[in-house]
Amino acid sequence: MNLKLFETFVAVAQLRSFRAAAEHLNSTQPAISMRIRELERALGIKLFERAHRSSILTAKGQELLPLAEQLLGVAGEIQQHVADSKMIAETVRVGLSELIALTWLTDLTAEIDRRFPNVSLRFDVDLVHGLIGKLRARELDLVLCAGPLKEPDLRSVSLGTVKLDWFGGPQLDLPADRLEASDLARHPLISLSPSSSLHAMAVEWLRANGASWRRTNFCNSMHTVSLLIRSGQGLSILPTAYYEPHVASGEMRILKPKPALPSLEYVAVYFQSRSSPLIPVVAEIAAKTSGFGREAGGAKAHARSSRAFPARRRSRRSR
């Protein structure tokens, strides 16, 4: 029996939509409907009840789903461990944070292309809250973002850590030393979003040090946040190494109040029970190609981090 029919059945069952399954499988809705009808004829049963804008499994469909998932899992294992990786042809939907998109994404895509030349990648750059929502809704297969994230059945692979600092523009009236939390609180906070990891860190850091923000401006782009900071409109928490060139040029200042900010871990996450066998492989490739540092990695951590940030790449070439 054609595995493509079972792949289509599982996609429709998980996404609850013929249209969404067609998108996911890079097919058309009529082709998806035809495959489901073919599978129903072969098995002699009805698999779906069509409801308003969704497709609901019948009792027999519910009975078939775990068996079909198991069948595809075994087929995937054979493909991963026995077949030539160059023959694997899938589309992997990857959600990722802006920092990864700006730094080592090209290393990741090059390595995937080398190992799996027939695998297509579909990227979605968003904030953590949006990415995890899309992962839950099965609109993404894998998410690379700030962690930690803990949910039932969620598999997490560390991508390393990123050092963070407070940044402000040179125009801000702030003392060069003996900087207090109350000094920062006099200026607007420019934050990625109310649900972002960096916003939660900023609010908690200030609260722990006996202060609170008088005003917060939100923006969903880290690059735009940095532009606002350079123009003197506030301050924010940003990844240190990526913005070091702007500090060196005098466009931005690193602010050093005490205590220092903790590093932020990034992770590759996916729902293990829903994933194709290729997804864990892509997550491990992301971990290996990540340009983020390792807390206890010493020289190796510095070398990995240097691949991620333009300023350090320049210094490495000059050696």
Q: Which residue has the higher pLDDT, 26 or 180?
A: 180
CA distances from 22 to 26, 33, 35, 43, 277 (A): 6, 9, 11, 22, 20
Per-residue DSSP letter, 293 = B
Q: Are residues 174 and 156 located together in one domain of the fold?
A: no
Single-letter code of the amino acid located at 174: L
Q: Are residues 147 and 282 located together in one domain of the fold?
A: yes
Q: Are residues 205 and 146 located together in one domain of the fold?
A: no
Contact 301, 265 (CB under 8 A): no
225 Rama class: left (phi>0) / alpha (psi -120 to 50) / beta: alpha
Per-residue pLDDT tens digits for 97-119: 999 999 999 999 999 999 999 89
Listed residues 81, 96, 125: the one ending a domain: 81
Listed residues 200, 223, 255: the one ending a domain: 255
Q: Are residues 213 and 194 located together in one domain of the fold?
A: yes
The CATH number assigned to the domain holding 39 equals 1.10.10.10
Per-residue pLDDT tens digits for 153-200: 788 999 999 999 999 999 888 877 778 888 898 899 999 888 888 898
Q: Which residues contact 169 (CB under 8 A, 6 or more apart)?
A: 229, 230, 231, 232, 233, 235, 251, 252, 253
Q: Choose among 205, 38, 197, 226: nearest CA to 132.
A: 197
Q: Structurally, how many domains does the chain consist of?
A: 3
d(CA 96, CA 105) in angstroms, rounded, equals 9
Q: Are residues 119 and 152 located together in one domain of the fold?
A: yes
Q: Are residues 93 and 135 located together in one domain of the fold?
A: yes
Per-residue pLDDT tens digits for 238-297: 999 999 999 999 999 999 888 889 999 999 999 876 567 788 889 999 999 999 986 544
Q: Are residues 217 and 143 located together in one domain of the fold?
A: no
Name the average pLDDT for the chain: 84
Q: Are residues 137 and 96 located together in one domain of the fold?
A: yes
Statement: residue 312 has pLDDT above 60? no
Q: Are residues 7 and 30 located together in one domain of the fold?
A: yes
Q: Are residues 270 and 311 located together in one domain of the fold?
A: yes
Read off the pTM: 0.75
d(CA 119, CA 121) in angstroms, rounded, equals 7
Give the pairing of strands 120-125 and 91-96. parallel
Listed residues 65, 81, 97: the one ending a domain: 81
Which residues pair with residue 125 across a beta bridge? 96
Give the pLDDT of residue 80: 63
Q: What domain range is 277 assigned to?
A: 88-160+264-318
